[in-house]
Amino acid sequence: MPHDLSATEAHARMTERSLSPVELLEAVIARAASIEPVVNAFTEELYDSAMEAARRAETAFLRGTARPLEGIPVAVKEEQPIAGRTHEEGSLLLKGTVADVTHPIVTRIAEAGGIVHARTATPEFSCAAFTHSRLWGVTRNPWNPSFSPGGSSGGSGASLAAGTSLLATGSDIGGSIRIPASFCGVVGFKPPFGRVPALPPFNLDQYCHDGPMARTVADVALLQNVIAGPHPWDVVSLRPKLTLPPLDGDVRGMRVALSVTLGDYLVEPAVVANTLAAAEALRTAGAVVEEVELPWTREQIMAAADAHFAAIFSASVGDADEELLCSYTRDFAAIRSSLSYHDGLSLEGELYRPLGELLESYDALLCPTTASTGFPAEHDGGPLPVCGEMGHYMLGTMTLPFNIASRCPVLSVPSGVAQNGVPTGVQLVGRTYDDVTVFRLATALEAALPFARL
């Protein structure tokens, strides 16, 4: 079916005229009509304007003037504003708010011919690793609707897995691209800080990254090449633009460090098994994969993150009417740290040092994306068990260290499916600003360990 195609396949078929942009969009809309009542990935459907764009795309293909994303349906995370459209961020506090600016990556997607046909759900203020809010309800994982697609880019991950978009955007402040990529069996890229432009004030927060999500590594690279590059609104956006080259997946002789626990994380057996299978797949592709130890503790990582979020998120919520906030938002805004912001930065530096030293000897690090095999769809943000031990639910993820190490590019790619039907994923972590290497490794992994599809 057309909605099952990758973006690169769909573009090729539209180029050779065996598929039209209108036919593709109609298939995606039909798929959404059948699955959205269960999954609830979309906050807004832009089908009328999308169909007009699809008809223009047909003309572009006929004339041979098609652009890189011409005719491709792209779902955009609601957090990323579009001028003239609502920008509510899942909060009753912002209900009815209309944006007066368009996020740079949305502009770039449109300029490349992408068709924004829907906007995707987040938790309130994108502050959780699951996706439900009082404004938009519960978003569910299409693999198993009892479970969450993850968050905060959960609507994007669920849409891709369900076949209601071919490309999607996300943002990542603590794993918000990679967690839903893992739980939904898709690919998500946390670019290094500054690679993709964002809007103030959070463009200045080194934990924050806007990035691409898709069903294949090549599709993520396609979208990344569209949205990356300097922008006049963003002082941290990097010059010159990095354009990812064609991906050949040749990793023969590359050295990959393997850490299943990243220090002392407790990791569910299915995640361990699938991570080891991914490591073996890279060995099959010709890479040298060796197990290593990192001296991190969960306590240190959470302490550094708490110092950071206490200084930033609490201030962003301010004196909001708590009665209108979701319970998990109130809890997040109430985070306090025994560390000053200065001491938190010092701890971040201490945490990065062993990773930086490790990556002097290895081309990349391979590790799980999550320690858990899934969160309940309506989880309220409280403790959850991982390997029988109760703890903060974020201890069921393994993404925060690489928001601390914000200049490291990280790709989350599928590694298998757990017994509960929820996919698992692994992270490929590169040296600072070495995006190309993680894409090469991911391409090899995708070829050697074919990803499951719904």
Report the relative pairing of strands 167-172 and 73-77 from DSSP bridges: parallel
Report the candidate in 201, 205, 200 with the shortest Cα–Cα distance to residue 176. 205
256 located within any domain: no
Instruction: Determine the Cα–Cα distance for residues 233 and 238; give it in Å rounded to an integer.
Output: 12
190 located within any domain: yes
Q: For position 314, what pLDDT does the model report?
A: 74
348 located within any domain: no
Which residue in 133, 148, 171, 176 is the catalytic one? 176
Instruction: Determine the Cα–Cα distance for residues 149 and 106; give it in Å rounded to an integer.
Output: 23
Q: Where are the alpha helices (DSSP H) in 16-153?
A: 21-39, 47-63, 104-111
Q: For position 313, what pLDDT does the model report?
A: 82
63 located within any domain: yes
Q: For position 139, what pLDDT does the model report?
A: 98
Asked about 372 being catalytic, the answer comes back as: no
Q: HSE-up of 294 (CA within 13 Å, CB side)?
A: 28
175 located within any domain: yes
247 located within any domain: no
393 located within any domain: no
Q: For position 322, what pLDDT does the model report?
A: 84
Q: For position 319, what pLDDT does the model report?
A: 72
- Domain extent for 22: 2-227
Number of domain units in the chain: 1
Regions in the chain scoring below 50 on pLDDT: none
Sign of CA dihedral 109, 114, 115, 119: negative
Asked about 406 being catalytic, the answer comes back as: no
Q: Which run of H or of E encompasses 45?
A: strand 42-45
Does the predicted TM-score (pTM) go above 0.85?
A: yes
Q: What is the CATH number of the domain that holds 205?
A: 3.90.1300.10
434 located within any domain: no
Which residue in 6, 133, 152, 237 is the catalytic one? 152
Asked about 152 being catalytic, the answer comes back as: yes
